[in-house]
Amino acid sequence: MNAQSAASPAATLLVCVTCKSEQGPLGAGLFAALADRLAGEMDIALRPIECLSVCKRPCTVALAAPGKWTYVVGDLTREAHVEDIVIAARRYAASPGGIVPWRERPISFRKGVVSRTPPLALTDASLS
């Protein structure tokens, strides 16, 4: 795990708290479980978000940090994937650019990728 100060977390984990299925709300419960699990992990900033616009693949989370690629990942549940999300967030936090090697990603994070977007600084640098 990367040793950074709390003021500059190596990963922000965004959890869509409005994600739901036909049976009822899902995202808020996943967020609560992750808040318990990540308490005290200063490297990972957990944040609730109202809608990541991936409504067909609940629950959805995103990993982001300054200077890193942002990953949006869906098809995650409180029942099955809390540990996967914690592992993925730690590896993302430890990665310099946000791209975790494929084999180091939990299976759910390989199958569930919705999108990735580069840090803007990278796209500007590609011009020069």
**89, two tokens:** 């967030």
- Using CA atoms, how far apart are residues 54 and 115, in angstroms rounded to an integer? 10
Q: Which is closer to a copy of itself, CB of 21 or CB of 123?
A: 123
Q: Which residues lie near a copy of itself (CB under 8 A)?
A: 12, 14, 45, 47-49, 51-54, 60, 62, 64-66, 70-72, 113-118, 120, 123-124, 126-127
- Using CA atoms, how far apart are residues 124 and 128, in angstroms rounded to an integer? 8
Backbone φ and ψ for 108, nearest 5 degrees, come out as -65, -30
Q: Which is closer to a copy of itself, CB of 66 or CB of 97?
A: 66
Q: How far is the CB of 48 from a copy of itself (least distance, A)?
A: 8
Q: How far is the CB of 53 from a copy of itself (least distance, A)?
A: 4
- Using CA atoms, how far apart are residues 83 and 81, in angstroms rounded to an integer? 5
1 with 43: CB under 8 angstroms?
yes
Q: How far is the CB of 117 from a copy of itself (least distance, A)?
A: 5
C-alpha count within 13 angstroms, C-beta hemisphere, residue 36: 8
Q: How far is the CB of 95 from a copy of itself (least distance, A)?
A: 16
Q: Which is closer to a copy of itself, CB of 14 or CB of 33?
A: 14
